[in-house]
Amino acid sequence: MLRVDRRLLLNPELLTPDDRAVMIPRFLADPPRFLFFTGKGGVGKTSLACAAAVHLAAAGRRVLLVSTDPASNVGQVFGLTIGDRVTPIPEVAGLEALEIDPEEAATAYRERIIAPVRDLLPAPEIASITEQLSGSCTTEIASFNEFTGLLADDERIGRYDHVVFDTAPTGHTIRLLQLPGDWTAFLDEGKGDASCLGPMAGLNRARTMYAVALQRLCDPAQTKLILVARAQPSSLYEAARTATELQQIGFHNQVLVVNALLPEPDPRDPVDPLHDSIHAREHAALVAMPEALTQLAQDQVTLKAQTVMGVEALRSLFESTESSGPQGDSHPAVTHPDGFDLGLRGLVDDLRAAGHGLVMCMGKGGVGKTTVAAALAVALAEHGIPVHLTTTDPAGHLTDALNQQGTEQIDGLTVSRIDPHEATANYRERVMRTKGAALDAEGKARLAEDLQSPCTEEVAVFQQFSRLVHESRRHIVVMDTAPTGHTLLLMDATGSYHRDVVRTMGEGTAYTTPLMRLQDPTQTRVVIVTLPDATPVLEAQDLAAELQRAGITPWAWVVNASLAAAAPTSPLLQRRAAAERPHLARVRELATTAGRPTPAVIPMLAADPVGDVALARLSALDHPVATPA
């Protein structure tokens, strides 16, 4: 909301009403031509991107708003059908919008690669290539291919003063574009190995376009990156990681926006311990934010009572804090959502009855997978069930969730972490020692560079992941997985391994691959974790569809941090709780095909559930918890 220094970011109460009325977001002061909004799902980057576009258009600029987000709801925000064509926004003169559909882009991208060889190769080979190009890595590259075509094409964007992108390119895709330009010849000679070379093979003819796009991305006079985060440790950590990663590859013009910051309680409103606790928790997160973020210019946007939908709501997003409502307004309490189990008790009881198997907690970063995984593991151990709790998430913080000292006192609980860096280093060394042994100096250099790709990490982690799948035959293994995109790449690696085993063993030979164990509902139980908001639910829906493509049906759904289940008394939080209803209803619909058709809901808590006692309480909730124990 405000152009502020760090002192005011941490103490917004110091701002006067006049200050709030005249200040504008720092990221919109002297804006360059290209603005990119990036952040975890559910932090509000689409709302901010749309509001920024409306603000610039109101200042008399011609603006193109482009979404490259797989979970884009730009059309929903404006109440229009937009899609892959430039669409004027009738209520905002000078503003047009475009949505790049990642799945459509990936389909077209696959066809461009496969079409020339479809009549030259046997059908099984074509099917194998199609499957290899069906992963999230291909979707990401295909979307970026569309994005760079737009960014570098002056004929398409020449008439716009500003182009606002909802979802910036990741460090992953930018690093891919910095790889050598002759990968196709390298692959044709049979020297390549693993990772992204297959998807990258279709990009080589457009190197000039990529060079222009990269030059514009890394020019601070032309481009600004807006890192959107919530005032939560995990969200700020992710923003810091992104900031550092992009700075390392030359993307330096960055601004941090802390979105949906809970305002000071209105003295006219009833005292709400939950409101007070969340406000204090957010302030503490800002004070302890990672050092990489303290070096950036910073803005804040306060939480609005209603979902930001429509042009009028967008116009007011950067204005002063709204009142939660006229004094005396009626705000009926929102109680436990119908059709949900409160807490994790039902899941724990079912897992106790099973006694063994793999439990995979999956979902986008920031939705609470680590908390849910740790809570399930602690509850099972306290019931005398041996359980191994582990994470494949590079950003996983199991020891923080468990409060490391406390975990040593839980009998039957083993805690581990697959170290992606160690696994990747070992994998790179092994590939260079084997496949690289017969290459000349130039070939070795190219292979070594390819092995720096983030996709290499997924291949390396998969090997350790397979051992955990095997271990789960004897007892329960609870796994806190990596964020969705990483996890789907891991699933792709599993599928490739499965196909290789089938081809090697031949017909009539008995075998069991990791994929077969993942597809077996008596062996593997996937728990999808989400938040009661539009983007996280849509991302969870897409994850479920991707799992179904791999023959894996989710076992259970968990909605985390629900205000509707917390029964707040603050009018602002009550209105936010009411806004959760359609998203909770959608989760109920999605859960009907799961093994446990009744989803679970965890209420927003006054204190973070850290440590074994607090985690165990998530499996013993009988009513909403509004105050710390």
Q: Looking at this protein, which amino acid is placed at residue 166?
A: D
Instruction: Identify which of 172, 185, 150, 182 has the alpha carbon closest to the alpha carbon of residue 67.
Output: 150
User: Structure tokens of 149?
Assistant: 């075509």
Q: Which is catalytic among the residues 38, 39, 40, 47?
A: 47
Q: Under 8 Å CB-to-CB from 146, ≥6 apart: which residues? A: 68, 100, 105
Active-site residue flag, 45:
yes
- For tokens 């040593």, the residue is 408
Which residue, among 271, 266, 268, has the nearest Cα to 302 in the 3D structure?
266
C-alpha pair distances (Å), 28 with each of 24, 294, 297, 539: 7, 19, 12, 29
| Selected catalytic residue, list 39, 41, 42, 192 | 42
The sign one gets for the Cα dihedral 261, 262, 267, 268 is: positive
Pair of tokens at residue 431:
């590939």
SS3 for 478-532, per residue?
EEECCCHHHHHHHHHHHHHHHHHHHHHHCCCCCCCCHHHHHHCCCCEEEEEEECC
Catalytic pick among 39, 69, 304, 453: 69
Q: Is 40 a catalytic residue?
A: no
Identify whether 535 is a catalytic site residue: yes
Q: Is the dihedral of CA 276, 398, 247, 138 positive or negative?
A: negative
Catalytic residue flag (residue 68): no
Single out the residue of 39, 101, 34, 106 nearest to residue 74, CA to CA. 101
What token pair was written down for 593? 């095909």
Instruction: Enumerate the H helices of 59-203 as residue ranges.
Output: 74-78, 102-114, 123-132, 136-151, 154-157, 171-177, 183-188, 197-200
Catalytic-role residue among 39, 41, 44, 343: 44
First to last CA, the chain: 34
Q: In degrees, to the nearest 5, what angle opens at C-alpha 233 toward C-alphas 229 and 239?
A: 40
Q: Check if 341 is active-site.
A: no
The catalytically annotated residue of 38, 39, 41, 45 is 45
CB–CB of 377/411 below 8 Å?
A: no
Given 535, 562, 570, 619, the catalytic residue: 535
Q: Which of 38, 41, 46, 456 is catalytic?
A: 46
CA dist., res. 221 & res. 507, Å (int): 61
Place of tokens 């804006």: 31
> In this structure, what token pair is assigned to residue 220?
């601070």
Of 320, 283, 270, the residue nearest 572 (C-alpha): 270
Burial of 120 from C-beta contacts in 10 A (0-12 / 13-18 / 19+): exposed
Active site residue 44: yes
Q: Quick check: is 69 catalytic?
A: yes
Catalytic residue set: 42, 44-47, 69, 535
